[in-house]
Homo-oligomer: A and B are copies of this chain.
Amino acid sequence: MSEKLNRLKEVLGEVSDIGHAASVLGWDQQVNMPPGGGEARGQQLATLGRIAQEKFTADEVGILLEDLKKEFSDPDTDEGAMIRVAARTYDKAKRVPPDFVAEQAIAGTKGFNAWVEAKGKSDFSIFQPYLEKNVELVKKYISFFPSADHPYDVLLDDFEPGMKTAEVREIFGNLRPKQVALIKAISETRQVKDDFLNRKYNEKKVWDFGESIITKFGYDFSRGRQDKAPHPFETTFSVNDVRITNRYETGNPLATLFSAMHESGHAMYEQGVNPAYERTSLESGTSLAVHESQSRMWENLVGRSLPFWEHFFPGLKKAFPAQLDGVSAKTFYKGINKVEPSFIRVNADEATYNMHIMLRLELEIGMVEGSIAIKDLPEIWNAKMRDYLGVTPPNDALGVLQDIHWSYGSIGYFSTYALGNIVSAQLWEKINKDIKDLDEQIRKGKFDALLAWLREKIHKYGHKYDPQDLIQKATGSRIDSAAYVRYLTKKYSDIYGL
């Protein structure tokens, strides 16, 4: 039997190597590639993807998995978990015909191009037929799978293994009225100052300050690096080579700091996975929501907290004395936490962010169920924006066309962002019970106990447990928004004197 296990590991190792090679090519494409390189790079990535798919979906792998499932049936062992996760991925890969994957890719490219034009002209009607096609294909994708409690479950499962639409609805349903009420209460108080955030900050100094922060966090530069790219992201080539990218926007110069913290959160998760899981189905973080819980925790619960800036603000002020003249740590803290309902999700503050997600989830479910006609999306979008945030997008570009995801047919992804926020607060409460003086430690710029906790309770497990099980194991309960509501309420009560 160990011979079969070894053979499976051999295949999984090869597939992982190819996937990581593709990640290097993808990273290079964003970070280094000269303009001419695009066409060949696309071909190289397509070839690697096809080979990995062929190797992984070979009938031999299916037979191996069937045999091994019986032998290693205990999901609490590494072997059992490895086979369970590989078998699930195998089943998914086998259900979707290669021709369909190709069709979806082509529709995605066409959709993306139409979306770019539509967004440029702020005219949803240009994108509408392509989105209709994308949704049609998503429905076909769902049809390849056994019928679920809700068709949207199939999509969700690709990003959050085991998560159900009903669960997400319940979690969001509990959260929504409380978050709406909080936003309303804040809107009735006096707004905080943040003009000092819009001054001119030297790019290199901001970049270096960000690197000094994430070095203190524990992001290991001997097993990673930070480069400039059009968008911040994290990418994994192995547990010992986990890179992040970042950017500098003149209109929002200190965003670079928060992006560095965010991406380092993803990266520390990847750097902390049990090295024994390398080149198996257990490598890497377990789901997008759990991943996002890590990035959001370092960005928001740590990086937008008062203790954090009590430690770092003097250094920042030393680097930017003119820009921060007369600004105190507390004023700075309030400024970076300013709540202001706005049109664009990616610029949203912590208090309003989730509302953008809930809106998208409802629209996605409606599209998949067929209860929402694509042509009606702009109108429904704007109505919900008024409902949740009290603002009305003046045009489609600032409304329904803002996100890239639907353009290439990605539906099912958005809720992981909000779930990540929710999980981050849930973990945070538990961590603060286990590390009594965490605030004190952060105020001293010490993060080792925090990172050690995350390593031990989350990171090291990689893909071993599904997200709900992992959160249950770490906190004693399944994903629940109560902690997040408590966190937001306490934070903004302090900032806005509610």
Contact A41 B222 (CB under 8 A): no
- Complex alpha-carbon distance, A25 and B241, angstroms: 12
Contact A18 B241 (CB under 8 A): no
Which residue from chain B places its CB closest to the CB of A221 in the assembled complex? B34
Judge whether A1 is part of the interface by a CB distance below 8 angstroms: no
- Smallest Cβ distance from A2 to chain B, in angstroms? 21
Contact B279 A238 (CB under 8 A): no
Copies held by the complex: 2
Contact B40 A278 (CB under 8 A): yes
Report chain B residues within 8 Å CB of A44. Answer: 17, 20-21, 24, 237-238
- Smallest Cβ distance from A486 to chain B, in angstroms? 39
Judge whether A223 is part of the interface by a CB distance below 8 angstroms: yes
Contact B34 A241 (CB under 8 A): yes
Interface size on A, residues (CB 8 A): 40
> Which chain A residues in 448-486 approach chain B with CB under 8 Å?
none
Contact B25 A21 (CB under 8 A): yes
- Known A-B contacts A41-B241, A238-B41, A278-B40; A21 and B48 likewise in contact (beta carbons under 8 Å): yes
Contact A34 B279 (CB under 8 A): no
Report chain B residues within 8 Å CB of A37. Answer: 223, 237-238, 240-241
Contact B222 A14 (CB under 8 A): no
Contact B238 A34 (CB under 8 A): no
- Complex alpha-carbon distance, A44 and B224, angstroms: 17
Report chain B residues within 8 Å CB of A46. Answer: 17
Contact A220 B36 (CB under 8 A): yes
Contact B17 A43 (CB under 8 A): yes
- Complex alpha-carbon distance, A306 and B387, angstroms: 76
- Known A-B contacts A21-B25, A21-B44; A36 and B222 likewise in contact (beta carbons under 8 Å): yes
Judge whether A33 is part of the interface by a CB distance below 8 angstroms: yes
- Known A-B contacts A24-B25, A28-B28; A18 and B48 likewise in contact (beta carbons under 8 Å): yes
What is the predominant secondary structure among interface residues of chain A facing chain B?
Answer: helix
- Known A-B contacts A34-B222, A34-B223; A40 and B20 likewise in contact (beta carbons under 8 Å): yes
Which residue from chain B places its CB closest to the CB of A223 in the assembled complex? B36
Report chain B residues within 8 Å CB of A40. Answer: 20, 237-241, 278
Q: Mark A20-42, 1 if CB is under 8 A from B, else 0.
A: 11101100100011111101110
Report chain B residues within 8 Å CB of A28. Answer: 24, 28
Report chain B residues within 8 Å CB of A63. Answer: none
Report chain B residues within 8 Å CB of A278. Answer: 40
Report chain B residues within 8 Å CB of A21. Answer: 21-22, 25, 44, 47-48
- Complex alpha-carbon distance, A353 and B279, angstroms: 47
Most buried by B among A13, A20, A32: A32
> Which chain A residues in 195-241 approach chain B with CB under 8 Å?
220-225, 227, 237-241
Which residue from chain B places its CB closest to the CB of A14 in the assembled complex? B47
Judge whether A51 is part of the interface by a CB distance below 8 angstroms: yes
Q: Mark A223-262, 1 if CB is under 8 A from B, else 0.
A: 1110100000000011111010000000000000000000
- Complex alpha-carbon distance, A17 and B227, angstroms: 26
A20-B44, A34-B240, A34-B241 provided; 5 other pairs, C-beta below 8 A?
A13-B47, A21-B48, A24-B44, A34-B224, A40-B238
The 4 A-B pairs of least Cβ separation, nearest first, read A40-B238, A37-B241, A36-B240, A36-B223
